[in-house]
């Protein structure tokens, strides 16, 4: 099996405080609450992960995969387990509900499923959208949960050992679901809570699905979201996935998306990241069949002292497959963006066509980007291209707008938005595209 992500173990990290970081991971584990009672069948998976956590530690910047993303904000947060669950009404979450998905949505509050805020009555037969606890009565989840490559990574393991419930979208064979399905993760930020959202998507043979995952907050505040989303795309199926991370700028967000794609399948991920004091998206795609197509569109837009890291990996294993990736970062003020784009093309994956482009706009002299393509190509008959650009706003472009009577500050905002729009435009849900455009047009700074 190809190693998708670096696993750090206490034993091979030579830092004096490794014990502290292992202890801290234990502390995080102890904040968990018991597994949802109807998920007893998953207890063995949870126990295995719990045992595994004992061997791990929170990574440090000595670990190559975390070299630029210093986890100090996580170590300093005085996290608590959530015991009091707020009662939210629909008006609280209404601004975040995509109108197209008003009757095809699941809502989680501080990581806990909220049936009153969820509504799935607008869906046809052939698709099951539910919390894991309820779904366990109808579907055997154990062949899918925590079974994909990279499940042993430290934060993924912590999630597997800690999650209590989660979201399930299961599309039956040949079903085409036109309505987008929205999974909304709301943080109330009323206390430094820790949440482990878990999501499983299964798109059976020949099915088609549009998925929106949206991480939002009602207030600014310190909390930790550690999410894992697992996506299984069967033969000839198609999943279009939009993932928006707009957590509090004081929060720590670590998110994993893993998609396994069988032959002739298509997976698109539009990942937009605005929030978090420290955010990390581990986006991993594992192709298992021929003629498989992967499209990754990423946008990170940060300011202040935010740090946002995207580590993506696409692993090819069979011939005749393709991938296209564009990752854009807009970095303002003292913010720091990181992009690492791994593409693995082993000997068996002949005639692969993979393209990767990283484009960054630095809006301030103190803004920083670390961007790195990481192509590991063994096959000899492939087409793999990559490129990276880092730039500032072009004086001639700003001047063009000024020469039309638009003041300099507005001109800069407009051009920054235009840079972001290339990615936002890929989102297949009209209202969401408009909503994100509005955010990108007048960012918080």
Nearest-approach distance from CB 443 to another protein, in angstroms: 14
Q: Which of 295, 299, 382, 399 is nearest to 339 (CA)?
A: 299
Q: Which of 3, 64, 220, 422 binds another protein (CB under 8 A)?
A: 422
Nearest-approach distance from CB 423 to another protein, in angstroms: 10
Nearest-approach distance from CB 413 to another protein, in angstroms: 11
Nearest-approach distance from CB 393 to another protein, in angstroms: 11
- Cβ-based nearer residue to another protein, 116 or 438: 438
- Cβ-based nearer residue to another protein, 138 or 399: 399
Q: Which of 216, 379, 414, 439 binds another protein (CB under 8 A)?
A: 414
Q: How far apart are CA 348 and CA 215, in angstroms?
A: 38
- The SS3 of residue 257 is strand
Neighbours of 341 (CB within 10 A): 24
Q: Which stretch binds another protein (CB under 8 A): 28-36, 46-54, 342-350, 416-424?
A: 416-424
Q: Is the Cβ–Cβ distance between 195 and 217 less than 8 Å?
A: no
Q: Is the Cβ–Cβ distance between 315 and 287 less than 8 Å?
A: yes
Nearest-approach distance from CB 255 to another protein, in angstroms: 26
Q: How far apart are CA 176 and CA 427, in angstroms?
A: 18
430 belongs to the binding site for another protein (CB under 8 A): no
- Cβ-based nearer residue to another protein, 47 or 394: 394
- Cβ-based nearer residue to another protein, 300 or 321: 300
Reading the block at residue 228, the tokens are 């894992």
417 belongs to the binding site for another protein (CB under 8 A): yes
Which residues between 49 and 108 bind another protein (CB under 8 A)? none
Site size with another protein, rule: CB under 8 A: 24
Q: Which of 368, 412, 437, 439 binds another protein (CB under 8 A)?
A: 437
Question: 12 CB contacts (<8 Å, ≥6 apart)?
Answer: none
Task: Report, in angstroms and rounded to the nearest whole number, the Rg of the chain calculated over CA atoms.
Answer: 21
Q: Which of 415, 428, 431, 443 binds another protein (CB under 8 A)?
A: 415
Q: Which of 43, 99, 425, 430 binds another protein (CB under 8 A)?
A: 425
- Cβ-based nearer residue to another protein, 220 or 422: 422
Measured CA angle at 145 (ends 267, 148), to 5 deg? 55
Q: How far apart are CA 200 and CA 62, in angstroms?
A: 32
- Cβ-based nearer residue to another protein, 61 or 410: 410
Cα–chain-centroid distance for residue 412? 29
Reading the block at residue 243, the tokens are 């993932």
424 belongs to the binding site for another protein (CB under 8 A): yes
- Cβ-based nearer residue to another protein, 295 or 406: 406
47 belongs to the binding site for another protein (CB under 8 A): no
Question: 291 CB contacts (<8 Å, ≥6 apart)?
Answer: 263, 264, 320, 321
- Cβ-based nearer residue to another protein, 13 or 406: 406
Nearest-approach distance from CB 439 to another protein, in angstroms: 13
Beta bridge partners of 362: 331
Q: How far apart are CA 196 and CA 39, in angstroms?
A: 16
- Cβ-based nearer residue to another protein, 89 or 365: 365
Helices (H), 136-222: 154-162
- Say how many CA atoms lie within 13 Å of 121 toward its Cβ: 5
Nearest-approach distance from CB 215 to another protein, in angstroms: 24
Nearest-approach distance from CB 300 to another protein, in angstroms: 17
Q: Which of 119, 169, 179 is nearest to 139 (CA)?
A: 169
Q: How far apart are CA 315 and CA 109, in angstroms?
A: 34
- Cβ-based nearer residue to another protein, 322 or 426: 426
Which residues between 108 and 137 bind another protein (CB under 8 A)? none
- Cβ-based nearer residue to another protein, 381 or 442: 442
Question: 262 CB contacts (<8 Å, ≥6 apart)?
Answer: 233, 234, 235, 237, 288, 289, 292
Nearest-approach distance from CB 408 to another protein, in angstroms: 7
Q: How far apart are CA 120 and CA 111, in angstroms?
A: 19
Q: Which stretch binds another protein (CB under 8 A): 12-20, 169-177, 384-392, 414-422?
A: 414-422
Which residues between 354 and 413 bind another protein (CB under 8 A)? 395-397, 399-408, 410
For residues 439, 110, 51 and 15, what is the CA-based torsion angle, rounded to 10 degrees? 50
- Site residues (vs another protein, CB under 8 A): 395-397, 399-408, 410, 414-415, 417-418, 420-422, 424-425, 437
């Amino acid at each position: 099996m190809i190693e998708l992500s670096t696993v750090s173990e206490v034993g091979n990290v030579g830092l004096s405080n490794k014990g502290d970081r292992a202890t801290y991971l234990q502390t995080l584990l102890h904040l968990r609450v018991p597994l949802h009672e109807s998920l007893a069948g998953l207890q063995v998976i949870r126990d295995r992960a719990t045992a595994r956590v004992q061997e791990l530690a929170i990574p440090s910047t000595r670990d190559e995969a975390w070299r630029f993303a210093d986890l100090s904000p996580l170590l300093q947060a005085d996290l608590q387990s959530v015991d009091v669950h707020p009662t939210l009404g629909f008006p609280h979450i209404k601004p975040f509900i995509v109108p197209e998905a008003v009757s095809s949505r699941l809502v989680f509050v501080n990581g806990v499923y909220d049936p009153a805020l969820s509504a799935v009555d607008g869906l046809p037969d052939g698709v099951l959208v539910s919390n894991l606890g309820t779904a366990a009565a109808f579907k055997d989840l154990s062949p899918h949960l925590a079974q994909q490559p990279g499940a042993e990574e430290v934060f993924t393991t912590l999630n597997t050992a800690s999650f209590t419930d989660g979201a399930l979208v299961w599309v039956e064979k040949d079903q085409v679901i036109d309505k987008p399905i929205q999974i909304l993760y709301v943080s109330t930020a009323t206390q430094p809570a820790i949440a482990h959202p878990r999501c499983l998507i299964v798109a059976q043979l020949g099915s088609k699905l549009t998925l929106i995952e949206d991480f939002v907050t009602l207030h600014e505040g310190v909390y930790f979201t550690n999410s894992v989303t697992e996506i299984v795309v069967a033969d000839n199926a198609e999943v279009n996935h939009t993932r928006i991370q707009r957590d509090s700028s004081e929060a720590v967000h670590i998110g994993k998306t893993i998609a396994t794609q069988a032959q002739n399948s298509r997976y698109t991920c539009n990942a937009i990241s605005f929030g978090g004091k420290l955010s990390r998206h581990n986006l991993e795609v594992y192709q298992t069949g021929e003629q498989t197509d992967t499209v990754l569109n990423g946008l990170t837009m940060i300011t202040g002292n935010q740090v946002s890291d995207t580590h993506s990996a696409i692993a090819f294993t069979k011939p005749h497959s393709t991938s296209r990736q564009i990752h854009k970062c807009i970095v303002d003020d003292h913010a720091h963006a990181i992009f690492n784009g791994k593409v693995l093309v082993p000997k068996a994956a002949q005639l692969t066509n993979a393209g990767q482009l990283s484009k960054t706009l630095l809006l301030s002299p103190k803004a920083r980007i670390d961007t790195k393509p990481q192509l590991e190509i063994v096959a000899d008959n492939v087409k793999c291209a990559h490129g990276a650009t880092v730039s500032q706003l072009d004086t001639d472009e700003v001047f063009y707008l000024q020469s039309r009577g638009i003041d300099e500050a507005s001109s800069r905002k407009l051009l920054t938005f235009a840079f972001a729009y290339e990615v936002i435009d890929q989102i297949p849900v009209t209202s969401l595209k408009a909503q994100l455009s509005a955010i990108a047009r007048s960012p918080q700074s």
